[in-house]
Chain A
Amino acid sequence: MKRRNFYIVSDGRLKRKENTLYFESGEDRRPIPVNAIYAIYALGSLTVTSKALSYLAREGICVHFFNRYGLYEGSFYPREGLVSGEVVIRQAEHYLDHDKRLYLAKAFVEGSIMNMARVLRKSGEDDSEVISALQALADAGRIDEVMGAEAVARNAYYSKFDSILQEMKFERRSRQPPENEVNAMISFGNSLLYSAVISEIYHTQLHPAISFLHEPMERRFSLALDIAELFKPVIVDRLIFNLVNRKVVTEGDFDDRFNGVLLNENGRRKFVKAFNERLEKTVKHRKLKRSVSYQRLIRLECYKLVKHVLNAEKYRPFVMWW
């Protein structure tokens, strides 16, 4: 069966029975055919039995957990099925060699800037400020300067949000906690995207902790942060513009009873559904000459990295071509 992402927003238990998974909550019992699962996103409070986990591990299915604020907490990352010492060693080499690392870090930021500019142009906004950060990027000789160029571009990019968003105010980026509705959606969307990238990395030989733009940190899959950077504008930000301007998500879908603003359960359901539709949305790939989904584009990006570290083909970042 075609494997899909499942998002469990309700509270309940996930257990294994009759070689398939069941989600139980109260009286409800919902079977999920195991061969239909690509990854599971646990957004509610979920109890998973060890039998269910070992079955998921055997099938190579990742489970991503989020806290009650909708922020990413961690993943159940089954034992790697596609181990390649060669790729890991080469990947580490590209981290350890300053020039090689700089090349990849710049590539990620360049792709990210181009995609931001593209999103602005598609919304009829001026992108010159964002594009001009490319000069600083080209001049950057250290990783922190690359990060700096990225920050400049992102600030310019965010400053256009208020004229794109007709129904809600953005003002400025705020995190932990998000100060308003738009920020809440950006944080939540980025968390979902980060997990989606982890799922894709799992299905390749890449090591999830060896990253190039972000510093490889302990206890974190920082390579997913690098790759997510490229897709944030295309997947998360455009989704938010869409949801806000078509009034799919409105004031009533948020909760502001504590220090910040967060999506409530109903809002989360809408957001997650739209997010998944976006991942499954397809575009015609120019080189492959066939339709690929956005999710597949993330996987292709991983393959490009594998080729790059193996010196088979130089990595060029993903830039939206439509």
Chain B
Amino acid sequence: MYVIIAYDVNVERVNRVKKFLRQHLNWVQNSLFEGEVTPADLEEIRMGLRRIIDEEEDMVVIYRLRSADAMKREVIGVEKSSVDEVI
């Protein structure tokens, strides 16, 4: 499945969330990641995020799509990070 994760967390933790998500997903822009994952990966991501954030104060939204094909992606302006496999 394809996931899009957006977060709004306290500035103390924002870097840890970014660092953690970098291992798993593509960084799209500030506080936004996306990528193809398996259900097991998603569970791992969920658990990791729970450990980092303060559930009383922070919010993370996970959007799930059946696959990348189910999504129409459009970028206006400058694409900050490419996801191409040929570098």
Q: Do A and B bind each other?
A: yes
Which residues on A are within 8 Å of B, measured CB to CB?
1-2, 4-10, 18-20, 23, 30-36, 269, 272-273, 276
Q: Are A20 and B86 in contact (CB under 8 A)?
A: no
Which residues on B are within 8 Å of A, measured CB to CB?
19, 22-27, 35-38, 41, 81-82, 85-87
Set B23, B27, B37, B87: member contacting A10, Cβ < 8 A: B87
A131 CB to nearest B CB, Å: 37
A269 to B82, CA, bound (A): 15
- Considering only CB atoms, which chain B residue lies closest to A273 in the complex? B86
| A-B contacts at CB below 8 angstroms, number | 58
18 contacts between A and B (CB under 8 A): A1-B36, A2-B36, A2-B37, A2-B38, A4-B85, A5-B85, A9-B87, A20-B19, A20-B22, A30-B81, A31-B22, A33-B24, A33-B25, A34-B23, A35-B23, A35-B24, A35-B41, A276-B85
User: Using Cβ atoms and an 8 Å threshold, which residues of chain A touch B41?
Assistant: 1, 35
- Considering only CB atoms, which chain A residue lies closest to B87 in the complex? A8
Q: Are A6 and B36 in contact (CB under 8 A)?
A: no
B30 CB to nearest A CB, Å: 14
Q: Are B85 and A19 in contact (CB under 8 A)?
A: no
User: Using Cβ atoms and an 8 Å threshold, which residues of chain A touch B82?
Assistant: 30
Interface of A is mostly: mixed
Asked, given contacts A1-B35, A1-B41, A31-B81, whether A19 binds B23 with beta carbons under 8 Å apart, the answer is: yes
Asked, given contacts A1-B36, A1-B37, A31-B27, whether A19 binds B19 with beta carbons under 8 Å apart, the answer is: yes
User: Using Cβ atoms and an 8 Å threshold, which residues of chain B touch A7?
Assistant: 85-87
B45 CB to nearest A CB, Å: 9
For A9, A10, A36, which residue has the most chain B Cβ atoms within 10 angstroms? Answer: A36
